[in-house]
Structure 1
Amino acid sequence: MRMRRALTAIFLASGLQAADAAPLVSSPGERAAIPSWDLQSSAVAGTDLAALSQTGLDTSSWHHIKASKCTLMGCLVETGVYKESDLFYSENLRKVDEEQFLVPWIYRNELSLQPGPGKHFFLQTHGISSRADIFLNGKQVASSSEQAGSYVGHDYAITELVDTTNALAIQVHPTDYYRDFALGWVDWNPWPADNGTGVWRDIEIKQTGPVMLEPLRVVTQLGTPLESAPAKVTLKARAHNLENSTITVTASGVVAPASGHEGHPITWTQSFTLPPLSTTDLVLDTIIPNPQIWWPRQWGAQPLYTAKLTITTTPNNNHASPISDHATATFGLRTITSHLNAHNDTTFHINNRPFQVLGAGYSPNIFLRFSPSQWETELHYLLNLGFNTIRLEGKNEHPLLYDLADQLGVLLLAGWECCDKWEAWSYNPDLAVSPTPVWTDDDYRVAEAGMRHEAGMMQPHPSVMGFVVGSDFWPDERATEGYLRAFAGVDWQMPVLGSASKRGFSPLTGPSGLKMDGPYDWVPPNYWWDTDETAGSRLGAAVGFGSELGAGVGTPELASLRRFLSPADLEDLWRSPNKSLFHMSRETSQFETREIYNAGLWQRWGAPTSLDDYLIKAQLMDYEATRAQVEAYTAMWNAERPATGLVYWMLNNAWPALHWNLWDYYMRPAGSYFGAKVGGRQENVAFDYVRRNVWLVNRALDREGERSVDVQVMDMHGKVVYENRFVTTTAPNTSKNILSLGDALANVTEAVFLRLILSDAHRGGNVLSRNVYWVAKEVDVLEWEQSDWYFTPVSKYSDYTALNKLAPARVTVFGVRDKHDVAEIVLENKSDVPAFFISLDLVDRHGKDVLPVEWDDNYVTLWPGEKMTLRARKVGGGSWEPFDARVKGKNVAGRNVGLLRR
């Protein structure tokens, strides 16, 4: 028995089970991803791909990956060679042997198919980083010169190579970010040891009959008015006649509301005659009489439609299926355009309404790991912030992300990345490698092929708002021509922007209308509000469209820090303010220390006395930084030079990091998140640090009428020194200056608190937003003329040190949780002084954070006698087991409070 089990293990490990396995695909139009891989270094397995792609090879000593896609490091994490939590702890990532990835590696799988007369098979790639040789059953399918580029997808005809049992071997070559079209990291974080090499997207097998279809394109044309005028929908797909004879096919089109949406399907047919061995673009038109319009979540619902195109032929004498192939797509009905205003700033319009982009830059996992649940949580978090857009700078992810964005109403601004092969132009002085690896003829071909694949994948998705073909620098004329040719080839209907900056442009695209003037490191909150351009350049201040900018904040809370920092690392965090830290940006970049940030913290709040003291001061810094940035941009939406868009740098991190995020790697929201959330409300009242005015912001399309604004200024001893109630009106999609607080704040001697409450006068005083600021006697003084590309120096800091002496506040806490994944925490300030900056998080019976979770508010400041109820909702699947609420504040003692079951 023991011998039989051992032989069975060897038999299975060798891939011989494919002989008895069900075929991977078995009907025309079916396609399926290679479900798993055996993986080995060529240093062990060799590079004889003809031999490695023979069936029956003993791979029992190889790594066995139960996943359809993963980079080399991702695979080795998947199979247990490395443990992610260990890799990310302290500086352990340095210990990974990079030399093991300087040779090719082999991905291998054995699979069953059912070849036969009239059957055609294709091997479809969608992205291998960055070059690969592909062999099937001992024969070469593609060389590394053909399968090159991390975003390049090809359909390789393999009918003549297919057998009942098949062995596929893919040799991936080491990726060089400066010489390959890959997914690089620039200075975002340390680079993975494998440089992202590997099969990072699915490789699929497709079976067809005599005619094969390329992916379905959906072209929409909306009428006026949008909701009542009929919409024209055109289905397009290239059909390949694979036979050496003329074929007449029937193309059947179906357009129907997606599952869960109202409406009736529309079906129709059309005949086409395909010459021998030809490629023909099939075009089928229909009309949707009562279209359902797709909106970003900020403005409406997300009705979706499905489209399917099926090709049938006359059955042959072998009684093959009349279906030869089919192609499907999900799409939405909406329009997206972009326009340059008088200041050469881009404004997007969605469904003919001017739309202010409020978004952030996205980062995938450092090992490009596939995680749909993670993406769904991230999109929910983004919407909870009040944001509407994610920028994908050269990190275009997987099709499933676009599906989720379509369903949830999140917009995606895709594009290529900066600072490596993608921008190796003679006019780019910033490239970190010399000599500049100038593009060859093959490079132009690969780049265009990558553009064609990505544009084709994105084309039907209503969530895609455009593509930025350059980041810091625009592509040269030849590359731009290739990109635009690729867009035209897939019937692209969204804006194409030349770059994310105003450094230059191709006449083929015109000016991008996006600015990339920083900052990327800490600046005080008044930076964003200082929009007086007559005084000189105001760089990232709230004018125009900022494509990537932020104050460099995003400090994780202690529970998260302990998961990736050693005790010595934690000491460095507050005792060594200028030290290079491994969990900042990549070494040698401008962002490997928290020096600029810490200078502000030390000067404004005083030297920290402990790690806990440092962290609460850091959360205060983070909160005011993101709030001021978002509020300034939303307030200046209707300014003389409007703030038309903001992409905060960044949304999330590729690994546990100490900056550049709105939530940490473990999905714990902290100060940067809740500051941004306050600023991102649909309706808000915002304090202008420069003019000391109050602004009324309305980002909705369906809210208008009378509003009341309650203003109170309170000193740190609990005395109200100013109060006012102001009544005004609001209109949809507008912002305006409504009130000056110059006199009210003129006599501040110590720091004071400012509370702004916006209420709907027609709904019984329903509170729409509540905002508390801490205001110093003097605002930070910026030295604009000494600005660098990543920050503007401060010559004099605001003084908040008096707030370190706030009298302790006594806050009662009562919390309940229910079976519907909701917890309610009631806070009441029982003292005579403000309870400053109270944070809440939920923990389980073991004291570990309960995550992911969405709060309606957090990090709040309560007036004496004030009561607030804060609600938290579980995001995603899994059990809901919050046991305690952990409470702490600047002058509120930390403690755990048990939650009652409702």
Structure 2
Amino acid sequence: MATFLENKVYHDDDSLFFSENLDQITQAKFQVPWFYRAEFEVQSSYAIVDNYLQVKTHGISSRADIYLNGALVVDKNVQAGAYAGRTFDIGSKAIPGKNVLLIRVYPTDYNRDFALGFVDWNPYPPDNGTGVWRDVEIKQTGSVAFAGTPRLATTLDGTVQMKADVRNWGSASTTADVHCKIFDPKDRELTNLGLANGVTLAAMSVQEISMKFKIDNPLIWWPAQWGEQPLYNVSCTLSTRGQLSDVMPNVRFGIRTVTSTLNEFNDTTFFVNGKPFQVLGAGYTSDIFLRFDENKLRTQFLYVLDMGLNAIRLEGKQEHPFLYELADETGIMILAGWECCDKWEGWSYNDEGSGEKWKDADYAIANASMRHEAAMMQSHPSLLAFLVGSDFWPDDRAVRIYVDALRAFDWDIPIIASASQRGYPDLLGNGGMKMDGPYDWVPPNYWYSDQLGAAFGFGSELGAGVGTPELRSLKRFLSSSDLDDLWKHPRKGLYHMSTNVSSFYTREIYNEALWARYGAPTSLENYLLKAQLMDYEATRAEFEAYGAKWTAERPATGLIYWMLNNAWPSLHWNLFDYYLHPAGSYFGTKVGARLQHVAYDYLTRSFYLINRSKSSLGPCTVEAELLDVNGTTISKTATRTQLSPNNSTRLFEMTEINQIRDVALLKLVLKGNDSVLSRNVYHLTPKPDTLDFDNSTWYHTPVTKFSDFGALNTLPQADLSVKTLIKMRKPAGHIHVKVTLQNRSKLPAVFVRLNLVDFFDRPEIDDDGSVDVVPVTWSDNYVTVWPEETLELEVNFRLGGQLATRAVRLEVDGWNVAKQTVGVSIKGGGLQE
């Protein structure tokens, strides 16, 4: 499918993903083998002794025959498994000049093959991900070559242990010299290691070489929230008889340690460089057709950091080497691992999955897969752990294969048995993670309870199922009747949810809450406004609760929100939509995951002071003001306290909340050194949502009585003034704009949305020819402005790409704020207010 799209047979930008068009593609054409063909030249090189040629595979889904010049190199029984990268000698089949490499891939079946599936995340791609999805390399060397990348293990005192495998392709024994250089993060050579000289290699053998060195005054690699990401570099050459035989690509590494422990509750806690590390992350997915876009990934990682998250989880979506390199550069930690619900978990005790049970040949594929992925990942400081199981743990034979493979590649970080508490193998013990849901909507007080997925222990995948795109994104993949279904038919199955046989094919649970809490929508626009408020509230509460309970009696040691992104345009399970536009779920997360923050506990009506940094910020002030919807202050207080590092503290209960009649607004502000560290507004009712935990399912906890926010629907319009000022033009066309919101009313301006748009002379893009500006980052958004308050926000975006560079404007509206548009003029390369 990716090849069809690249060659314009199909078009995902304007038709393939629209409405139910994807369902119209016949699967028959993908039920036969397909061929990939490439030509390459074989040339002799005076600098290389002899000439040996190898083909290296890294990702073919899921079985393939490989031919060179018409001769079979290896068949589908050997080249099997989407991650089973292998190296084959093709020297005897190569010829001088032009050579033809041909790969025949066989149809993938998720239940039969070790592939990259999407479970119930979205409709299955028509080709089931069949094809060459990672690079295939042709490598020319001398008789002695490096077999894979080196493994590096570091300690905080600067000791580095490096190991590498060297292969003799020749039919006679030989002696080889290995020479390595180490460079610091500023690319200055630190040491010249003429080590492992005179290594004797038997014919057709592989031998491990090892070298240890010490870096003085080492620069320590930290996750982004805690510090910098200095990366060292090592490069090596291999020579025989005084002439170059192979060159190892440069490998970057960071000096850091990662460990984990199980506490008395069997909850996993990770430690980075010896410090307890609370994981606040989200589940990442590949593109539905396994296309890989480095620029898109850069934006996705930019958003991860902007939201304050520190990790992503890859459930069977190990992606390309660039992902790990970018994570190293940006300080995002990675929980890698295999996926659930298909062949990967075809165990006799798995009563939920559909994968075929493993046979002897399957264990060999699993071994090759694990060894290839271990070799690719091992040197990256961004790796936090590898989960060898997801919903279920592997059987004893598979666990031994996985563990031996990882340890053979000097894996120096935790190996986790599974992401759930269904069971575990003796070899690894309890994985220390829970998978008790929810996956669909729950109210904010759910997260402060002591049951199921609430804020205790390590939640490996959980969330309120939210992630509603805004209108311009929706119009790119929904027809007018599809848009009507969103708010006129709240129980209808929707193609752009999960698969039609899943528990998530409708928005029925979500919509029941929306109708009950905020009233029946009066239009599509009204529905989307209420949905964004629901999404914002849901993600903020989840991340706030886990932050608040980080140092509780039973600590909340980590959470992976389900999910970060979508494989295709979707109506749920994301923190930003497929088109990279952030909305309510994004900005709720951004508030809830702030490094320094004060949060409201919906259950006990108390406040928590949160400091996720590793530094103490000293004395600070917490200000709380409770306001009714008419703008009258019910209560106002301020408290001086301290911000301890990497900690959370319960402050006090706000009893005045009992005085709320219908709906009130609570503003919490955290100040340190006279600067605002966090500002946060909640909408509250005197009676919270009532949860029925006894009737919970694996994905949802019912609500027997909903909160009533109907009073918000009768709010008078607020008078909001909006001004923009371009503060600077950054390099490469990056623009930094200050936006000033001034509420000139005596009542609050509730849930104010701000969005940058660009206008084209192309009405087919949208009714007015406009598109959302992406990527874009805001200091805050979807904000509530207090009566007569002035609030300053900042937004960053860049010129180029889709931007017309002449008509960027700021759209502003809100719950009780009329829509207005403010110009941000960009003319002739100059910038004007």
- TM-score (norm: length of structure 2): 0.95
Q: How many angstroms does 1:262 deviate by?
A: 6.8
Cross-structure match for 1:714: 627
Q: How many angstroms does 1:774 deviate by?
A: 0.3
The separation in 2 between residues aligned to 1:877 and 1:392, in whole angstroms, is 31
1:488 aligns with 2:407: yes
Q: How many angstroms does 1:859 deviate by?
A: 0.2
| Residues 718 and 817, structure 2, Cα contact 8 Å, conserved in 1 | yes
The separation in 2 between residues aligned to 1:111 and 1:295, in whole angstroms, is 42
The separation in 1 between residues aligned to 2:431 and 2:162, in whole angstroms, is 30
Cross-structure match for 1:691: 604
Cross-structure match for 2:784: 861
Cross-structure match for 2:422: 503
1:169 aligns with 2:102: yes
| Residues 373 and 876, structure 1, Cα contact 8 Å, conserved in 2 | no
Q: How many angstroms does 1:235 deviate by?
A: 2.0
Cross-structure match for 2:443: 524
Cross-structure match for 2:454: 541
Partner SS for 1:759: strand
> What 5-or-longer segments of structure 1 have no aligned partner?
1-72, 316-320, 532-537
Aligned residue among 457, 471, 482 for 2:390: 471
1:883 aligns with 2:815: no
Q: How many angstroms does 1:245 deviate by?
A: 2.4
| Residues 153 and 410, structure 2, Cα contact 8 Å, conserved in 1 | no
The separation in 2 between residues aligned to 1:245 and 1:583, in whole angstroms, is 60
1:828 aligns with 2:747: no
Q: How many angstroms does 1:879 deviate by?
A: 7.2
Cross-structure match for 2:683: 774
| Residues 699 and 732, structure 1, Cα contact 8 Å, conserved in 2 | yes
The separation in 1 between residues aligned to 2:522 and 2:426, in whole angstroms, is 57
1:150 aligns with 2:90: no
Cross-structure match for 2:763: none
Aligned residue among 97, 106, 117 for 2:26: 97
Please list the CA deviations of residues 489-546 of structure 1 after superposition, one character each: whole Å capped at 9, or x if unmatched: 1111111000000100000111000000000000000000112xxxxxx100001000
| Residues 235 and 309, structure 1, Cα contact 8 Å, conserved in 2 | no
Cross-structure match for 1:892: 817
Corresponding letter in the other structure for 1:404 = L
Cross-structure match for 1:845: 759
| Residues 342 and 356, structure 2, Cα contact 8 Å, conserved in 1 | no
1:133 aligns with 2:42: no
User: For residues 669-708 of structure 1, what are the structure 2 equivalents within 5 Å?
Assistant: 669-708=582-621
1:819 aligns with 2:729: yes
The separation in 1 between residues aligned to 2:648 and 2:44, in whole angstroms, is 65
**More deviation in 823-832 or 521-530?**
823-832
1:625 aligns with 2:558: no
Partner SS for 1:412: strand
Q: How many angstroms does 1:216 deviate by?
A: 2.6
Please list the CA deviations of residues 198-253 of structure 1 after superposition, one character each: whole Å capped at 9, or x if unmatched: 0000000001111011123233231xxx4xx3x22122111111223221211112
**More deviation in 842-851 or 399-408?**
842-851
Q: Quick one: percent identity of the two aligned structures? A: 50
Cross-structure match for 2:828: none
1:756 aligns with 2:668: yes
Cross-structure match for 1:349: 271
Cross-structure match for 1:566: 479
Query: CA, structure 1 residues 104+567, in 2 after alignment: closer, same or farther (shift >3 Å)?
Result: same
1:254 aligns with 2:181: yes
Corresponding letter in the other structure for 1:476 = D
Corresponding letter in the other structure for 2:617 = E
Partner SS for 1:638: coil
| Residues 623 and 671, structure 1, Cα contact 8 Å, conserved in 2 | yes
Partner SS for 1:148: coil
User: For residues 6-155 of structure 1, what are the structure 2 equivalents within 5 Å?
Assistant: 73-85=1-13, 86-114=15-43, 118-155=50-87
Aligned residue among 94, 104, 127 for 1:194: 127
Please list the CA deviations of residues 151-171 of structure 1 after superposition, one character each: whole Å capped at 9, or x if unmatched: 011110001111121011110
Q: How many angstroms does 1:289 deviate by?
A: 1.4
| Residues 143 and 245, structure 2, Cα contact 8 Å, conserved in 1 | no
Corresponding letter in the other structure for 1:286 = F
Cross-structure match for 2:370: 451
| Residues 357 and 647, structure 1, Cα contact 8 Å, conserved in 2 | yes
Corresponding letter in the other structure for 1:861 = T
Cross-structure match for 2:699: 790
Q: How many angstroms does 1:322 deviate by?
A: 3.0
The separation in 2 between residues aligned to 1:855 and 1:875, in whole angstroms, is 13
1:358 aligns with 2:272: no
The separation in 2 between residues aligned to 1:327 and 1:80, in whole angstroms, is 35
Please list the CA deviations of residues 291-332 of structure 1 after superposition, one character each: whole Å capped at 9, or x if unmatched: 1110000000000011122111115xxxxx434343531111
Query: CA, structure 1 residues 242+877, in 2 after alignment: closer, same or farther (shift >3 Å)?
Result: farther
Partner SS for 1:518: coil
Partner SS for 1:454: helix
The separation in 1 between residues aligned to 2:98 and 2:51, in whole angstroms, is 16
| Residues 620 and 671, structure 1, Cα contact 8 Å, conserved in 2 | yes
| Residues 129 and 182, structure 1, Cα contact 8 Å, conserved in 2 | yes
Corresponding letter in the other structure for 2:88 = Y
**More deviation in 554-563 or 876-885?**
876-885
Q: How many angstroms does 1:633 deviate by?
A: 0.2
Partner SS for 2:379: coil
Query: CA, structure 1 residues 220+839, in 2 after alignment: closer, same or farther (shift >3 Å)?
Result: same
Cross-structure match for 1:27: none
The separation in 2 between residues aligned to 1:217 and 1:895, in whole angstroms, is 58
| Residues 134 and 171, structure 1, Cα contact 8 Å, conserved in 2 | yes
1:426 aligns with 2:339: no
1:268 aligns with 2:194: yes
**More deviation in 585-594 or 302-311?**
302-311
Cross-structure match for 2:316: 394
> What 5-or-longer segments of structure 2 have no aligned partner?
761-769, 826-831
1:377 aligns with 2:322: no
Please list the CA deviations of residues 25-46 of structure 1 after superposition, one character each: whole Å capped at 9, or x if unmatched: xxxxxxxxxxxxxxxxxxxxxx
Cross-structure match for 2:154: 221
| Residues 182 and 189, structure 2, Cα contact 8 Å, conserved in 1 | no
**More deviation in 119-128 or 242-251?**
242-251
| Residues 440 and 509, structure 2, Cα contact 8 Å, conserved in 1 | yes
Query: CA, structure 1 residues 263+812, in 2 after alignment: closer, same or farther (shift >3 Å)?
Result: farther
Query: CA, structure 1 residues 483+553, in 2 after alignment: closer, same or farther (shift >3 Å)?
Result: same
Cross-structure match for 1:22: none
The separation in 1 between residues aligned to 2:121 and 2:31, in whole angstroms, is 23
Partner SS for 1:186: coil
**More deviation in 184-193 or 891-900?**
891-900
The separation in 1 between residues aligned to 2:189 and 2:784, in whole angstroms, is 48
Task: Count how many residue pairs are aligned between Structure 1 and Structure 2.
Answer: 805
Partner SS for 1:451: helix
Please list the CA deviations of residues 244-283 of structure 1 after superposition, one character each: whole Å capped at 9, or x if unmatched: 322121111211124x467734433331122222211111
| Residues 250 and 313, structure 1, Cα contact 8 Å, conserved in 2 | yes
| Residues 256 and 266, structure 1, Cα contact 8 Å, conserved in 2 | no
Partner SS for 2:37: strand
Please list the CA deviations of residues 449-501 of structure 1 after superposition, one character each: whole Å capped at 9, or x if unmatched: 10110011000000111100000000000000110111011111111000000
Q: How many angstroms does 1:548 deviate by?
A: 0.1
The runs of 4+ residues in structure 1 deviating greater than 6 Å are: none
The separation in 2 between residues aligned to 1:878 and 1:298, in whole angstroms, is 30
Partner SS for 1:672: helix
- TM-score (norm: length of structure 1): 0.88
